[in-house]
Chains A and B, each alone.
Chain A
Amino acid sequence: MGQEFVLLISASIFCVGAAGFIIRRNPLIMFMSVELMLNSVNFLLITYSSFLNSLDGQIFALFIMTVAAAEVVVGLAIILTIFRTRHDLDVDHIDMLKG
C-alpha cells in the first residue's frame, strides 16, 4: 500500500484522538484519546521502519509503548485519588489549583 494511505490513516487516527481529548470531559476517555494518538504515531513509525528497512522505528515504538504504559498507570492512579477526595469526575469541575 502506498505511503500516502498510511499517512492518511495515521493522521486521521491522530486527529480523532486530539479532537476527543478536547471534546470529552470524562478523564478516562481523555486518557483513551491520548492512547489513540500514541498508537497512531506507533503505526507510522512501524510502517516507515518497514519502508526504510531499518529497525530503529520499531525500537522507538517499543519505547513509546513503555512510556505509554507508565503514563496510563500513573494517570489512572491520579484519577482514582481525585475521585476519592471529590466524588466527581468532570474535568471542568476540577479547578482547585486555579488561583
Chain B
Amino acid sequence: MLEIATVFDFTHDMVILVVGLTAVLASLGVVLCSSPIYCALYLIGHMICLALLFLLYNAEFLAVVQIIVYAGAVMILFLFIIALLGGKKEVQENSLHRSMALAFVFTLLGELYLSATVGPTQQVHGEIPPELFGTAKAIGLELFSKHLVAFELASALLLVAAVGVICLAKFSFAPLRRRVR
C-alpha cells in the first residue's frame, strides 16, 4: 500500500511535468506562428504556465507578480501595438538564419548536457521558516532590509524609462528622407 506522502509527491511531480511541457510547447508556438497576434496569445499562455510553476515552487508572491505584470500589463501593451501596427504575416525566405539558429540551439543543449554531468546542487536549510517562504511578507522583509538600495535604483530605472517613452512617443520627429541608392 502506498503512503499518502509518496502519492502526493508523485502527483506534484506529474503536475510540474505537465505544466513545464506545456510551457515549452507554448514557447514553440510563439516562435513558429507566422501571425503576431497568435504569437502574443501563445506568449500569454506561456506566462500563465510559468506562473503556475512559480506557485508549485513556493513562490506565490512572484506568481502573482508574473500574472499582473507580464500576462496583464506587458502583454496588453504588446496586443495594443500589434493592433496599431497591423499584424502582417511575415514571409520567410532565407534559410541561413534557420540553420544558424539550429546550430545555436544544439550548441546550447550540448553545453547543458556537459554542465548537468557536474551533479546536483546540495539542498541546504536556510534561516527562513518554510511556512513563510515566498510570501509577500518574507519578500518584503528581505527587500527592505538587504536590498534597499537596489530597490530604490529600480524605481529610478522605471521613472527614467517612463520619461524616455514619453519623449519618444510625444514629440513626433519629421520623417527622415530616404537615402537615394
Contacts and interface: CB of A to CB of B under 8 A. Distances in A.
Interface of A: 1-9, 11-20, 22-26, 28-29, 31-33, 35-36, 39, 42-43, 46-56, 58-59, 61-63, 65-74, 76-81, 83-85, 89-90, 96
Q: How large is the interface on B (under 10, 10 to 19, 20 to 34, 35 or more residues)?
A: 35 or more
Contacts, number: 220
A1 B13 CA distance: 5
Contacts of A16: 24, 27-28, 30-31, 105
Contact of B108 (A11, A79, A83): A11
A52 B105 contact: no
Given A5-B20, A28-B78, A79-B81, A62 B104 contact: no
B124 interface: yes
Nearest to B106: A15
B39 A7 contact: no
What is the predominant secondary structure among interface residues of chain A facing chain B?
helix
B6 interface: no
B166 to A, nearest CB: 9
15 contacts: A3-B121, A8-B112, A19-B102, A36-B46, A39-B47, A43-B53, A53-B124, A55-B134, A58-B59, A62-B65, A65-B66, A70-B161, A73-B165, A77-B164, A80-B85
Contacts of A2: 120
Contact of B54 (A3, A31, A46, A84): A46
Interface of B: 12-13, 16-17, 20-21, 23-24, 27-28, 30-31, 36, 39-40, 43, 46-47, 50, 53-54, 57-59, 61-62, 65-66, 69-70, 73-74, 77-78, 81-82, 84-85, 88, 90, 92, 97-98, 100-102, 104-105, 108-109, 112, 115-116, 120-121, 123-126, 128, 133-134, 138-139, 142-143, 146-147, 150, 154, 157-158, 160-162, 164-165, 168-169, 172-173, 175-176, 179
A36 B42 CA distance: 11
